[in-house]
Amino acid sequence: MLLRFVDGRPVSVVTTQFLAWLTERLATEGKTALLLVWDNASWHVSQAVRAWLKAHNRRVKGDGGCRIVVCPLPSKASIKGSAILCSSRRTQWRGRQLH
């Protein structure tokens, strides 16, 4: 498990800096994907973070590295329901990659 602490509020810029650091570190370990299970915090769903994720994954697809797969949690869901949702999304994602 990797933890990184920052001062201040977890705004979009801090979030994208953290994701860049994390994916670089994971790529050096030979990891090719990071599955993020995220709630609906404003810095998780911001336009800046979504744009960064899209650009990052596009860049990694061409150059190699660690891509990010986001599994957003529903805004009103139990933990059990959320786990099932993420599991089903992961299965669908893996199924698309196998074809």
pLDDT in tens, 48-86: 999 999 999 999 999 999 999 999 888 765 555 555 555
Rounded Cα gap, residues 26 and 64, in angstroms: 12
Domain map (residue ranges) of the chain: 12-73
Question: pLDDT at position 93, please?
Answer: 46
Burial of 76 (0-12, 13-18, 19+ CB in 10 A): exposed
Distance in Å from the first CA to the final CA of the chain: 31
Mean residue pLDDT across the chain: 80
Q: For residue 13, is pLDDT > 80?
A: yes
Decide if 50 contacts 87 (C-beta within 8 A).
no
